[in-house]
Amino acid sequence: MGWLWLWPSGFSGASTAEEVTAGIDARGLVAVITGASSGIGLETARVLALRGVHVVMAVRNVAAGRNASEAIRAEILGAIVHVLEMDLSSMDSVRSNNAGIKAWGCTRSVDGLELHFATNYIGHFLLTNLLMENMKSTSSESGVEGRIVNVSFSGIFAYPQSKLASILHSTELARILKGEGDGVNISANAINPGVVETKMLTHNNIANALVFPIGRIGAATTCYVALHPQVKGISGKYFSNCNLDSPSSHDSNAELAKKLWEFSSKH
C-alpha cells in the first residue's frame, strides 16, 4: 500500500479547477477576470461560468476575447459571459471603461511606467480601487462575501517583481479592509498559480518546450480561492497548490506593502 499525501484543504497541485469547485453553485456572483482570452485566465473564466458565475472577460484583444467567450458559451449551456476591452498597461483604458505580458528588456507603458509593472500591477491596483465601492455596497446588500484574488509569484526579474507587488497589494488591502470594521465583507488574497499553459512565455521558446506539455493546472488555485467555502473569511493570505502557503520575507513585509500602496495611489 503506497503513501497518500493529504493536504489540509483536501486538494493539491495536481487538482483541477473543476475538481476544486465541484458541487459549488455560484449563480448570482459576478467575476471580472483579466487576461481571460488565454491560459489561466481563460480556464478560470470557463470554470467559473460552469459554476454559474456571470463572467466579465477584461481583455486587450477583443477579437480573441470574443472567440474565447463564444467557445465557453458553446460548451456550457446558459453560460453568462461578456467581453470588456481593457488595456491594463494604460490607466486611461482602465478608468474609461493577459493582461499579463512577459518580454525581455525594459519597455515603458503609455504612462511612462515599466511595462510589466504597469500591466501586471498598477493596472490591477487601479481597477480594484475603482470597483471597491461597488463591491462594498453589493456585498453589504447581498450578504455574500466579495473576494479579490491576485495572481502572483516571486522572482528576480521584471515580470516576477511586478507579481511580487501584487502580493504586497493583497497584504495592505486586507489590512485596510479589516480596519474598516465588520461592515466590510470583502477579502483580498494572493495566489501562486503554479505552472500553466499560457501565451505569456511566447518570448522564451525553451520555457515553452518545458511548460506546455505539463498542461493547464494553474486555474485550480485561482478558482479555489475565488469560490470555495473553505476560504470564507480568510484575507491577506497567500495560497499555492490550493492551500495556504508562506510567501518570502519580502512578500510579507508590512512596511514595504504600505510604502507600495502609497506610491501606487499616486497613479
What are the catalytic residues?
Answer: 159
Cell of 208: 515553452
Cβ neighbours for 10, distance < 8 A, ≥ 6 positions apart = none
* Contact by Cβ (8 Å): 217, 196: yes
Residue with cell 502572483: 152
Q: Classify residue 58 by burial, with Cβ atoms within 10 Å: 0-12, 13-18, 19+.
A: buried
Strands across the sheet containing 186-192: 146-151, 186-192, 238-240, 243-245
Which stretches does DSSP call E strand in the chain? 30-34, 54-59, 81-85, 146-151, 186-192, 238-240, 243-245
94, containing H or E segment: helix 91-95
